[in-house]
Structure 1
């Protein structure tokens, strides 16, 4: 690997995701931004102008009337990213897709298609789906339990990589003189018979310039960390401060090396952060406070409070009564780690439901707020401290994101920690990850 470089991702939330229910009131954001391809193209091209590594499209497939505006009405990630691929040339295109409710062959083919359309810029954020209600949209009476979800995900990713290797890179001869189109010896049937899936193969698609789409993962439970350490190449996470970031960074990379025999440098850790840029530090803090108050009202926070609890309706409880700890049962097949932590904090502190909800919208000052120089200093501080390898920056207010691209990124470039120009055509190159050799070619070479 070459000189270590910071990595940056942009995460657009359209009309407003969790914690930003009223983001759509910003006059710069179209009311239909979450299904407006022109808006997504504009944001992706802005991120590409800033030489960002990737744009990341989050997703889920279950909604209630309490869901954030962006969740209520949004484009399917792979369809959206395929459109963005034709309107951008270098930026990576990463989308969320669940291993719980997708047929492996179909999803692997769709990501392979995106990888070819984009000439090697595709990435897959592997999720096991925390929204338990999704099961009902796929004909199931209940969501898979934790062990099943993560067992499926592990097998799914290994299966995907095997399918992407169905053709060796020189399988298609396309010799007009001899009339030979395919070297059949370099097409490989999979015949996978696993615990959760049975797939014959081969995939009817060649590999892209980067070999396989980059696999991202974001689980924080012990099982989630093991999944990331075993198959993840990009790791999406959250860290409130440098010590927390360093602890996660060390844990995930140590697991990768010691438990799974992987090179820890082949995992790129990118926590999600909020950045606010102002003319001065004081100006930026005022913007941050105003955004916090405007983008996340108490009513919205109460309605979305139930998400980790399987979208349990907390509006039915007395706000000033003790926190209803019995509601934790609704989170057992949802975002249980998060629901359990919320419940434990509420019980330990003797909070009412109102107090618990208020903590979710409490004004927590971000570390990445200030003048362009202050923000750049803080990004570099985290990166140099090995609390991360880069950042996923929430793209909320467009005017703020333009300031990040136009005022913060140039400072990072001047300091030599972030690229001044793309030096690769594919996402693996941006992230400093190796192109995986086709497994059949490797076996042929060593055999």
Structure 2
């Protein structure tokens, strides 16, 4: 029996034409989606119609170069797309409740500018902004004035400092710092505006931020890393985690591990929501769902198949293999995304052929794929939700816009009928809808602690 006070949280994880690597070739896809604002407007409004908590787009500070192979580069659709904060600023004006999660890299972005643009988005959207914290696994250093791509451990050291600095910058102004009294001529109370005076390993920032404290206190902090360093960063700072788990047991292990780390940082389990990704392929019957799955898989060009495999077999010569050979072990010495590599390595170790491996990655890149009827997909979500593996889900439509529309029209009503999902939004801000507390201002909290200690 499910806890009726607890509801499934849903995010729409959007890749322009859909999450499948060949989605743009599907007859239902909006092939020019990457730069089509009308397409994104429709998606945001569809997700809001489905009472989703948030929409999220994957992003990177550089274009995907397909391992510099022109054959691969010519066949993928996701190398060029909108910058997310700009996109969400526009879409916040044609929606009212849904939240907007944008990715920004702690390795390649300046903390002050990052804090400024997300605080601005929170004001522009009236409290619906969130920052997806990433350290950037891919080496994109050639586009920036830094001396090479930092090692995994160094990226997380920097990320720890960046997150703390950004949180302080967001709290530069206390909630009531702006007085704005025309009669007295007093605009603000200087005593309630705080310099950061940050002097760390990587940054020296004076502050304050030149944006007032935002409607929900500060944007929601989202994180996706599942390595040991990523888990610690999430347990200390994140409020939502997007994760990839293939089985219920894996999901339960991740869920209990992350929730168990929170007490170390003085946090409670409800202060961090865990939302695994799910790639749903729907059909009116099981047979129809399987046909839909097989059709989209048939759209993967052979050169793309090898391109997918080379992303994980870095430094491994695959020229002597055919797609029907058993997948060899993946390399373990890498500075790329360690948690995702482990997930793919675990898949490969089950005896899959290279063909089976790339087909599993062509869908959701290691996230869980579920093929079935709307009832069966609802069953799968309920199973993980009530059995300690998820607080919600990041829905990854295979093809857009139809994949999102079908989920909203076919799966959401089933979850609502079961009492597992909201029938109206609880509030106006992303925090209110996620059930997250409005955070205390860090400077006020520190001053209070100092007074109590003295």
TM-score by length of structure 1 reads 0.89
Deviates more, 1:58-67 or 1:237-246: 58-67
1:15–1:69 Cα contact (<8 Å) kept = no
**Contact 1:192-1:198 at 8 Å conserved across structures:** yes
User: Contact 2:103–2:131 (CA<8 Å) still a contact in 1?
Assistant: yes
2:262 maps to 1:264 = no
Q: 1:344 to 1:210 in 2, by over 3 A?
A: closer
Greater relative contact order (CA < 8 Å, ≥ 6 in sequence): 2
Kept after mapping to 2: 8 A contact 1:309/1:334: no
Question: What is the match of residue 119 of structure 1?
Answer: 126
- State whether structure 2 residue 210 is matched by structure 1 residue 204: yes
Deviations 1:76-100 (A, max 9, x none): 1111111111121110100111100
Q: 1:185-227 deviations in whole A, cap 9, x for unaligned?
A: 1111110001111111000111222111111111111111111
Partner of 1:74: 81
**Residue 54 of structure 1 corresponds to which residue in structure 2?**
54
Please name the residue that 2:69 is paired with.
none
For 1:169, the equivalent position in structure 2 comes to: 175
Q: Which residue in 2 is equivalent to 1:23?
A: 23
1:310-321, aligned counterparts within 5 Å? Answer: 317-320=319-322
Q: Does 1:419 align with 2:422?
A: yes
Match of 1:63 in 2: 64
Contact 1:165-1:440 within 8 A present in 2 as well? yes
How many angstroms apart in 2 are the aligned matches of 1:341 and 1:377?
Answer: 24
Q: Judge conservation of contact 2:172–2:195 (CA < 8 Å) in 1.
A: yes
Residues 322 and 424 from structure 1, CA distance in 2 versus in 1: closer, same or farther, beyond 3 angstroms?
closer
- Partner SS for 2:221: strand
In structure 1, distance between residues paired with 2:346 and 2:184: 71
The residue aligned with 2:192 is 186
Residue aligned with 2:411, SS: helix
> Which residue is 2:288 aligned to?
283
Assess, with a 3 A threshold, how the Cα gap between structure 1 residues 368 and 306 changes in structure 2: closer, same or farther: closer
The CA RMSD over aligned residues, in Å, is 2.7
Structure 1 stretches of 5 or more lacking a match? none
Is contact 1:174-1:181 (8 Å) kept?
yes
CA distance in structure 1 between the partners assigned to 2:410 and 2:347 by the alignment: 39
Give the drift of 1:356.
3.5
Match of 2:405 among 379, 402, 407: 402
Which among 146, 165, 175 is matched to residue 140 of structure 1?
146
Per-residue CA deviation, residues 4-41 of structure 1 (Å, 9 max, x unaligned), is: 11000001111355xx2321122333322011111011
Tell me whether 1:216 sits opposite 2:234 in the alignment.
no
Question: Quick check: 1:231 aligned with 2:237?
Answer: yes
User: 8 Å contact 1:298–1:358 — kept in the other structure?
Assistant: no
What secondary structure, in the 3-state scheme, does the structure 1 residue paired with 2:78 have?
helix
Q: Is the Cα contact below 8 Å between 2:9 and 2:421 reproduced in 1? A: yes
Structure 1 residue 429: deviation in Å? 1.1
Identify unmatched segments of 5+ residues in structure 2.
67-71
CA distance in 2, matches of 1:324, 1:368: 26
Aligned CA distance change for structure 1 residues 342 and 411 (closer, same or farther; 3 Å): closer
2:63, 2:80 within 8 Å by CA — same for their partners in 1? no
- In the alignment, is the contact (CA less than 8 A) between 2:259 and 2:269 conserved in 1? yes
- SS of 1:395's equivalent in the other structure is coil
1:226-261 per-residue CA deviation (whole Å, 9 max, x = no partner) reads 11111111011011121111111001111122x323
Could you say if the C-alpha distance between residues 437 and 149 of structure 1 is closer, same or farther in structure 2, counting changes exceeding 3 Å?
A: same
Match of 1:36 in 2: 36
Q: Is 2:4–2:420's contact at 8 Å kept on the other side of the alignment?
A: no
- Taking a change above 3 Å as real, the CA distance of residues 392 and 341 of structure 1, as seen in their structure-2 partners, is closer
Kindly provide the CA deviation profile for residues 342-364 of structure 1, in whole angstroms up to 9, marking residues without a partner as x.
Answer: 56876x7899xxx4354131499
Paired with 2:148 and 2:97, the residues of 1 have a C-alpha distance of 41
* 2:258 corresponding residue in structure 1: 252
Aligned length: 434
Distance in 2 separating the partners of 1:185 and 1:90: 34
Please tell me whether the aligned partners of residues 62 and 131 of structure 1 are also in contact (alpha carbons under 8 angstroms). Answer: no
CA contact (8 A) 2:308 2:358 kept: no
> Mean Cα displacement is larger for which, 362-371 or 399-408?
362-371
Task: Report what 1:386 is aligned to.
Answer: 388
CA change 1:314–1:232 in 2 (3 A) is farther
- Aligned pairs for 1:336-347 (under 5 A) are 336-339=338-341
Cα distance change on mapping 1:283 and 1:98 into 2, 3 Å = same
How far does residue 442 in structure 1 lie from its aligned partner after superposition? 3.3
Distance change in 2, residues 1:313/1:40 (3 Å): farther
> Contact (CA 8 Å) 1:8, 1:54: kept in 2 or not?
yes
Distance 2:443 2:425 in 1: 31
